[in-house]
Amino acid sequence: MRDYYEALEELLSKTQTTHQTEDRSLEEAEGYILAEALTVNYDAPMFDNSAMDGYAVCDLNRTEWEIIGVVAAGDDVTATRLEPGQAVRIFTGAGIPANTDSVVPQENTTVTDSRVSVEQALKPSANIRRQGEELKKGDVLVSSHTVISPAAIGLLASQGYASVSCFKPLTLTLFSTGDELLSLTEPLTPGKIYDSNRPMLLSWLKHYAYLKVVNGGVLPDDYDTIKQALHQAAANADIIICSGGASVGDKDYVKQVLDELGTLEHWKLAIKPGKPFAWGNINNRCKVFLLPGNPVASYATTLLMTLPAIKYLAGLSIEKARPQKWKAQADFSIPNNKQGRRDFLRGTLSMTETGVWAAPVKGQGSHMLSGCVNADVLIEVPAHTNVEHGQWIDVYPLSHSF
């Protein structure tokens, strides 16, 4: 059996990032992956400006100044200059007139007629945002191989970027396999179950703007049908995911088909849930992932193995592609851990005055999807390793927007 971390690194090392890029307007770029590093076009702030509503004053050796005008955000102050003893009324974001020594917040001032005065001594340069104090022209603004977040959209807009180069989205076709599976439009009959993996994974993967997800439907446990479906899908898809049929049962044909159509690596992962996991490619181009059919195992291997590989393939940096990992304190103990596989328990997080605590939910079977619904994280328990109450442990957040 393979250790999870070794398997993940091997999978990532055998995955190559797409090279196809396209220009996207900034309004259409959120959630896509940036294909170029973008530099700072303009110092930020672009010019010295006021951080407060108040008075810009010249000469800090006095406590009273004559008000000679008003400057507001958007005004051109290039011709405005203060002489010692002069002040201007100034608003947040307005340019700082030449010769300003400090900006006094309006609540610290007294105004009588055309004069402003203060009671306390002023600090030089107070309440002035200096040109370039945040960003200097020519520096890296946003790194390539990162997802463009709403904040990045704002930052890029502030620097005048109307369009950016992104990696082209990848097409992903998702199948479920199994004679027992019914779609939701079909009536339930003895021995059958509703297909839950496909709706679950379709809805999850659709969160990623850089994936164009195609619903491939349910495939029966029939060699020829599976072969034809995978062959057809591989003509258009960059990625195929099949849930079910990845283990060693007589009817697990998907592996055999992949072996015949392309290449296959079949791994027994030393993790629970999620032992059988296979991947490979068709036509040396289309990457294929075969997930275990048990819904929780399908879910966990998607989070821990498949999504990292897909993210890296789609253009994310390897660091960003790896699953997010946090730390929490164990609100449980496992005194005599005989578990031979790395266990990823479904758990909740609670924040208290003593820190962040993780505890397993009820229902840890790999067929018990309710555990995933009620969980915030996967709690990692390494094989043969005891857990003491209060010990710091690794947890994988189950947010579907990372």
**For binding to ligand AMP (CB under 6 A), which residues are involved?**
176, 178, 180-181, 193, 195-198, 243-247, 249, 292-295
Residues 6+ apart with CB under 8 A from 283: 234, 262
First vs last C-alpha separation in the chain = 29
Q: Give the separation between CA 396 and CA 188, rounded to whole angstroms.
A: 35
CA distances from 185 to 192, 197, 309, 360 (A): 13, 16, 33, 35
CA distances from 17 to 33, 34, 142, 170, 401 (A): 11, 13, 19, 11, 21
Compute the least distance from the CB of residue 181 to ligand AMP, in Å.
5
Compute the least distance from the CB of residue 172 to Mg ion, in Å.
21
Compute the least distance from the CB of residue 257 to ligand AMP, in Å.
14
List the single partner that 49 binds among ligand AMP, Mg ion, none, CB under 5 to 8 Å by kind. Answer: none
Compute the least distance from the CB of residue 292 to ligand AMP, in Å.
5
* CB neighbour burial string for 104-129, b if at least 16 within 10 angstroms, e if fewer: beeeebeeeeeebebeeebeeeebbb
Compute the least distance from the CB of residue 136 to Mg ion, in Å.
58
**Between 50 and 197, CB nearer to ligand AMP:** 197
**Between 292 and 308, CB nearer to Mg ion:** 292
Rule CB under 5 A: say whether 295 interacts with Mg ion.
no
Among 97, 169, 178, 280, the residue binding Mg ion under the rule CB under 5 A is 178
Rule CB under 5 A: say whether 95 interacts with Mg ion.
no
Residues in a beta bridge with 193: 181
Neighbours of 386 (CB within 10 A): 12
Residue nearest to ligand AMP (CB): 293
List the single partner that 247 binds among Mg ion, ligand AMP, none, CB under 5 to 8 Å by kind. Answer: ligand AMP
CA neighbours within 13 Å on the CB side: how many for 131? 9
Q: Give the separation between CA 310 and CA 27, rounded to whole angstroms.
A: 24
Choices 225-233, 275-283, 287-295, 342-350; region in contact with Mg ion by CB under 5 A: 287-295
List the single partner that 181 binds among ligand AMP, Mg ion, none, CB under 5 to 8 Å by kind. Answer: ligand AMP
1 three-class SS: coil
Q: Give the separation between CA 96 and CA 130, rounded to whole angstroms.
A: 9
Compute the least distance from the CB of residue 169 to ligand AMP, in Å.
25
List the single partner that 50 binds among ligand AMP, Mg ion, none, CB under 5 to 8 Å by kind. Answer: none
Residues at the site binding Mg ion, with contacts judged by CB under 5 A: 178, 244-245, 293
